[in-house]
Amino acid sequence: MSISRAIDKLNEMIAGAVSWALLIAVIICTGNALVRYTFNLSSNSWLEIQWYLFAAVFMLAAAHTLKRDEHVRIDVVTSHFSKRTQVWIDLFGYLLFLLPVCLIVIYYGIPFARYSINTAEMSSSAGGLIVWPVKLLVPFGFVLLLLQAFSEIIKRIEFLAGRIDGHEFAKHVTTPEQEIEAIKSANQL
């Protein structure tokens, strides 16, 4: 569990830092739109930096999203199963799907980024930026996702072995009926 906690902490720190990139992207987007419509000026660099920042948020926060158990799931189906069965489904999904996909993207993403770095690749847009930083996000983001997958696997194995109670990895599991009630309550506010 100490390895799992260290991975969780790493991804929490990265997600906290990356959350600022989203704010910066919104500020740049707003400023760029104001300048474009007020002064009829525009720059591809400003558009590309927005894309780069969004890519950073998306790629670097994916592992944190997995840690918080907030990826798209099939809760409508699995909510009818016992907690133990849900954990087995998670474990199966991580081992059979998530780990191989992460490894494949890392395997192909490293040469993809390395080529961009070695050639000092630039955007083909007029006034565009260097491309390698955003391409480097692909393997780096998937390494973080792979690490988080290992953390989640450790937690599920510990749960199945009876050494933890599951609160470390499961957000509150609800039935579809409970979800509907929560939505109705929120709409009444």
| pLDDT tens, position by position, 27-51 | 998 998 898 888 988 777 888 888 8
Tell me which of 15 and 77 has the higher pLDDT.
15
Name, in order, each residue with C-beta under 8 angstroms of 141's C-beta and a sequence gap of 6 or more: 58, 59, 60, 62, 63
Give the mean model confidence (pLDDT) for residues 101-129. Answer: 90
Q: Which residues pair with 126 in a beta bridge?
A: none
In whole angstroms, give the CA distance from residue 79 to residue 171.
Answer: 12
Q: How confident is the model at residue 169 (pLDDT cuts 50, 70, 90)?
A: low
CB distance 52 to 136 below 8 Å: no
Give the mean model confidence (pLDDT) for residues 124-152. Answer: 90
Task: Please give the biggest Cα pair distance in the chain.
Answer: 65
Q: State pTM to two decimals.
A: 0.79
Residue 172 is predicted with a pLDDT of: 45
Dihedral-angle region of residue 153 (phi above 0 means left; psi in -120 to 50 means alpha; beta otherwise): alpha
Q: Which two tokens stand for residue 126?
A: 């007029």
In whole angstroms, give the CA distance from residue 3 to residue 142.
Answer: 18
In whole angstroms, give the CA distance from residue 103 to residue 109.
Answer: 10
Q: Is the pLDDT of residue 155 over 60?
A: yes
Lowest mean per-residue pLDDT among 89-103, 106-120, 123-137: 123-137
How many angstroms separate the Cα of 32 from the Cα of each of 27, 35, 124, 146?
A: 8, 5, 20, 36
Residue 179 is predicted with a pLDDT of: 62
How many angstroms separate the Cα of 102 from the Cα of each of 17, 148, 178?
A: 23, 11, 34
Q: Which two tokens stand for residue 84?
A: 């133990």
| Cβ count near 170 (within 10 Å) | 16
In whole angstroms, give the CA distance from residue 41 to residue 37.
Answer: 8
- The pLDDT > 70 percentage for the chain reads 89
- The pLDDT > 90 percentage for the chain reads 37
